[in-house]
Amino acid sequence: MRTVLIVEDDFDTLHPLAELLRLKGYSVSTATEAQQGLTVARHHPPDLIITDIALPGPSGLHFIGQVRRDRQLRSTPIIVISGCGPMILVEAEAAGANCCLEKPINIDLFWSAIDQIFGGAIEAEAPKETDLREDHGRALAGEIDSLVETLRHCATKNEREEVLKRLKERIRKLQERNTNCA
């Protein structure tokens, strides 16, 4: 199973992103600031790092530089997801990011970037027989994907809060389902 480290201080981005990756079969670890992210990466080297630029303490640019200077981590692919604007994304690429995406996240571009990083597919698991629980889980995952995409297009704060509320509810429901099935 491939591992992804997400370094993001915004819960409304971090939690749905982590859950979406888990639903796609990735092992996910998280950090909310650059130094914590570096510590996590050194103890459990990820196959991919996803980071924001605007973080508390040292910035994501600083974090990327630290990763690129670290002998153990320097070849780890890095995807930047940031709302800081195009000039900062150019700086992130110059610092060593493999791919930069703007917030709000376009989910299709996000999956495309991951496919490019990993060469088109995650590690295949042995095929399993489908049962009702898996179908329900896929339906919930589809709803979560759809809500993340809807979140991108919210025009008002109230609309965004309502979509986030529904998104958190679906994620909790999926987590409960996964706990009950384990």
Q: Report the pLDDT value the prediction gives residue 122, as an integer from 0 to 100.
A: 44
* Residue 61 is assigned to a structural domain of this protein: yes
Which pLDDT does position 32 carry in this prediction? 96
Average pLDDT score, the chain: 82
The pTM score is 0.69
The pLDDT tens digits of the residues spanning 86-145 come to: 888 889 998 999 999 998 888 889 999 999 998 854 443 333 334 444 445 556 566 666
Q: Is residue 123 part of a domain?
A: no
CATH of the domain at 101: 3.40.50.2300
Is position 126 within any domain? no
The pLDDT, as a whole number, for residue 153 is 72
pLDDT at 58: 92
Tokens of 9: 């201080």
Same domain, 84 and 174: no
Residue 50 has pLDDT above 50, yes or no: yes
Are residues 159 and 102 part of one domain? no
Are both 34 and 102 inside the same structural domain? yes
If asked whether residues 98 and 136 sit together in one domain, one would say: no
What is the span of the domain harbouring residue 148? 132-181
Q: 28, 6 in Cβ contact below 8 A? A: yes
Q: What does DSSP say about strands 99-102 and 3-7: parallel, antiparallel, or unpaired?
A: unpaired
User: Quick check: helix, strand or coil at residue 53?
Assistant: coil
Looking at the structure, tell me whether residues 44 and 100 fall in a common domain. yes
Instruction: Judge contact between 64 and 51, C-beta under 8 A.
Output: yes
The Cα 25–Cα 113 span in angstroms is: 16
Domain final position from 64, 87, 118: 118
Q: Same domain, yes or no, for 150 and 73?
A: no
Last residue of a domain, one of 118, 140, 170: 118
User: Per the domain annotation, does 127 fall within a domain?
Assistant: no
Q: Do both 100 and 161 map to the same domain? A: no
One domain, residues 107 and 151: no
**Residue 104 CB coordination number (10 Å):** 16
Lowest mean pLDDT among 25-29, 108-112, 172-176: 172-176
DSSP states of 114-178: HHHHHTT-PPPPPP----HHHHHHHHHHHHHHHHHHHHHT--SHHHHHHHHHHHHHHHHHHHHHH
Q: Are 109 and 137 contained in the same domain?
A: no
Domain count, the chain: 2
In terms of average pLDDT, the best of 62-66, 87-91, 152-156, 157-161 is 62-66
> What is the Rg, in whole angstroms, of the alpha carbon atoms belonging to the chain?
17
